[in-house]
Structures are given as structure tokens and as C-alpha cells.
Structure 1
Amino acid sequence: MKKVILLLNIILFYSCLSQQKKSIRQVNDYLLNNNYSSLGELDSIQLQGMKNAISKYRLLGKESCNINPDKKYSHIYIEDGFHDEEGFYNGIIITDDKNICEVTTSPYKLRKDSISYTRFKEKNGIIFYTKKLSVEDFRNNYVDEYFRYELVIQDKVNAFEKCLAIDQYTPKSVIYARNYYFAGKGIRTYNLLIKYSDMRNGIEGLPYFKEDKKREFIECINELNILKIDN
């Protein structure tokens, strides 16, 4: 009887563990079934086409970075970025806070640097480019994406929003991106319309941003302890 109870406890333990992990495919399926409103005003054909494209960017893109989209992880972060007018995609997928994959169709990025990307052509004709990033490369060369990522995983989104509320003239970017984070429980959605580079480069020369508010804003950002703004 004791052996049966022990066996049941072991099964229950591993069952609980498995529930705390998800694959990128599972997260992708959940997002496409529950967050389609974030894709904008589309008819049914356009919506299905967008869902198919996003699935390929996320799943085949991750696979192109030599990371199995069906392997289960305890932490999954996805940033989907879209250029609203030209329609290209920029995405970042991070698993367990260390496996980082960039997926892009941006002509601007590819003009600057096409050599370091891997070209992927799907059998139905969709083409995109991927790059596997180190943690150091991500932090040093993708400061906007890194800043948003750290806000999410460190649970500092609310603190950051308080910084933005200091003054109506604090630097605020407009970007078309949506962020998702799975950390063992539900999948949380964020809409972080901000570029760190705009804050870092935009503090000077704002005519209505008073000096005392500017100092308060810089101190608030620096207290987040993610990336600093020079005083």
C-alpha cells in the first residue's frame, strides 16, 4: 500500500512539474486563439493569413535557430513587432532566459547586415531571416528589445509606467509591438510602446520638458536598474 501511495505521489509531482512548462508551439496556439484582436481590423481571410504567417515566424523561426519549438520550457518570452505601414515583422523569442532567436523580414536590417542572418524559405513561399543571439549581443546591441524584455521578466512594468507619468512631456515612443511572457503559470500580455534609445537620446532638446521633471524622470529610469541614462 505504501508503495502505491509513493508511486501516486511521484506521478502527481511530475504531473505538476510538466504543467509548469510549455512549448513554444503551445504558447503560440494559445496566443493565436486568445489574442487575435491584437492583430488589428482584419477580415476572416486576412486574419487567417496573419495567423499562419505569425506561426511560421515563431515556430519555423525558432527551429531555424536550432531550438526545438516542441521542447517544453519554464520561461518563454515573445516580442512580436510589426511595421504598421510597410508590413514587415521583427520578432524576438527567448526561452529559459538564455536561448535568444531574432526573426525578421525588415528590409532596413537586412540592408545594414544580411551576412549574419540565416535565410529561411518556407515551402509555400514565405521568406524570413533569423539570427541566434548571445545574451551579451542581445544586451549590448538590441537595447530597445533588451529594455522591454527586462521590464517584463523583472516585473517592473508598473514602475516604468510611473516614470512615464512624471510629466506629460516625458519621452514616449510609438512602436508596433506586443510582448508575451510565460513563467510557469499563465501567459501575460504587455503592450510596451517604448524605445530605450529614444529616452537615452531624447532627453535633451525637448522644449517643454522642464529641468526638474527631467532630473526626476532620469532618476526614476535609473532606479529600475536595467539600463542607465546619463545625467
Structure 2
Amino acid sequence: MKNFFLLLNLILFCSCFAQEKKSIRQLNNYLLNNNYVPFGDVDSTELKGIKSAISKYRLLGTKSCNINPDKKYSHIYIEDGFNDEEGFYNGIFIIDNKNIFEVTNSPYKLRQDSLSYTKVKEKNKFVFFTKKLSIDDFRNNYVDEYFRYELVIQDKVDSFKRCLAIDQYTPKSIIYARSYYFGGEGVRVYNLPVKYSNIKNGIEGLPYFKEDKKKEFIKCINQLNILKIHNSSNVKAFNIPDL
């Protein structure tokens, strides 16, 4: 009888532990069922097409990078990004905070660095490109995506929002992207209006943004301790803690 209870406790423990993990396919289905797409208002036909394309990018892109979409993970981060006018997809996927890859069909990305991408073509002629990223490559060459990612996983989104609320002229970037994070306790969804590349060298070109508010905003962002804002474009703008 004692062994029976030990076995029962072990089964319950394993069951609870399994609930703390999720596969990319499960996350994808959850996001699709809740109509989470990085666009504003779209009609039902457009939404259906967008959801179908996003699903392929997520699942086929993941599989092409040797990540099993049906294996369960403790941490999954996805940023779906779009060119809002032309519909090009550019997604960042980070699995268990270490496996990082990009899925894209953006001609802008490919013109910049086509040789480092791997072309993926499915039987139905669905074509996209993938690239695996090292941690150093991600934080040094994808500063906008890296900044948003760190805001999410360090649970500093509310602190960042307080920075944005400092003044009506506080810089807010137009971002057509949505971030999703599963960390073992449900899925969190974020829209983060920030391009670190726009502010890393200081706040310029905002004549109505008073100097004291600029200083307060810069101090607020720097206190997040992710990436620093400097007052001079001559200063290198990377002060990056280890992941």
C-alpha cells in the first residue's frame, strides 16, 4: 500500500510538471484560436489568410531549424513581425532561452545579408528563409528584438511603460510586431512600441520634448539595465549584461 501511494504521488508530480511545459504547436494553436496577429483591424478573409501563413512560418520554420514543434519546452518566446504595407514576415524564435533563430521572407533582410540565410521551400511552393543565431549575434546585431525580448523575460514591461508615460513627447516607435512568451504559467502577449536603434544615441529631433524630460526618460531606460541610451552619437551604445 505504501508503494502504491508513492507511485501515485510520483504520477501526480510528473503530471503537474508536464503541465509546466508546452510545445510550439500548442502555443501556435492557442495564438491562432485567440486571433493573436500583429495587425490591426482586418476582415475575416484577411484574418484567415494571415493565420494560415503565420502558422506555416511558425511550424515549418521551427522544424527547418531542427526544433521539434511537438516537443514540450519550459520557455518559448516568439516575436511575429510584419511590414504592415507589404506583408513581409520576420519572426524571432527563442526556445528555452538558448536556441535562437529567425524566420523571414522579407526582401529587405535578404538584400542586406542573403548568404547567411537558408532557403526553405515546401511542396506547395511556400518559400521562406531561416537563420540560426548565436546569443552574441542576437544581442549585438538584433538590438531592437533583443531589447524587447529582455523586457519580457526580465518582467520589466511595466517599468518600460512608466518610461513611456514620462511625457506626451516621449519617443514611441511604430512597431508592427507582437511578442508572445510562455514561461510555464500561461501565455503572455505584448505589444512593445520601441525600437532601441532609434533612441540608443540619445533623443534628437523632438523640439517640444523638454530637456529635463529627455534626461528623465534616458535615466528611466538606463535603469532597466538592458541596453543604455547615451547623449552623444559618438559614444558606443552597448552596455549589455550576460544572458
Same fold (TM over 0.5): yes
Matches within 5 A, 1:209-228: 209-228=209-228
1:46 Cα deviation from its structure 2 partner: 3.0
Alpha carbons of 1:160 and 1:127: their partners in 2 closer, same or farther (altered >3 Å)?
same
- 1:82 and 1:90 in contact (8 A); partners too: yes
Matches within 5 A, 1:113-132: 113-132=113-132
1:30 equivalent to 2:9? Answer no
- 1:171 and 1:202 in contact (8 A); partners too: no
One-letter identity of the residue aligned with 2:145: E
Query: Counterpart in 2 of 1:95?
Result: 95
1:72 equivalent to 2:72? Answer yes
Matches within 5 A, 1:1-231: 1-36=1-36, 39-201=39-201, 203-231=203-231
Q: Deviations over 1:184-215 (max 9, x none)?
A: 01101101121111122461232111111111
1:27 Cα deviation from its structure 2 partner: 0.2
- The normalised TM-score by structure 1 is 0.96
Tell me the distance in 1 between the aligned counterparts of 2:108 and 2:202.
22
List gaps (5 residues or longer) in structure 1.
none
One-letter identity of the residue aligned with 2:127: I
Q: Deviations over 1:25-75 (max 9, x none)?
A: 000000000134754444444322222211110111111111111111100
One-letter identity of the residue aligned with 1:92: I
Match of 1:57, SS state, is helix
Match of 2:18, SS state, is helix
1:145 Cα deviation from its structure 2 partner: 0.2
One-letter identity of the residue aligned with 1:224: L
Which structure shows the higher helix fraction?
Answer: 1
Report sequence identity in percent. 75
Tell me the distance in 2 between the aligned counterparts of 1:49 and 1:125.
16
Match of 1:93, SS state, is strand
Q: Deviations over 1:110-144 (max 9, x none)?
A: 01110000111122121111101011110000000
Q: Which moved more, 1:117-126 or 1:134-143?
A: 117-126
Q: Across the two proteins, how many residue pairs are aligned to each other?
A: 231
Alpha carbons of 1:89 and 1:202: their partners in 2 closer, same or farther (altered >3 Å)?
farther
- The normalised TM-score by structure 2 is 0.91
Tell me the distance in 2 between the aligned counterparts of 1:226 and 1:137.
16
- 1:82 and 1:177 in contact (8 A); partners too: yes
One-letter identity of the residue aligned with 2:195: K
Alpha carbons of 1:120 and 1:221: their partners in 2 closer, same or farther (altered >3 Å)?
same
Tell me the distance in 1 between the aligned counterparts of 2:91 and 2:156.
21
- 1:118 and 1:131 in contact (8 A); partners too: yes
RMSD across aligned positions (CA)? 1.4
Alpha carbons of 1:42 and 1:212: their partners in 2 closer, same or farther (altered >3 Å)?
closer
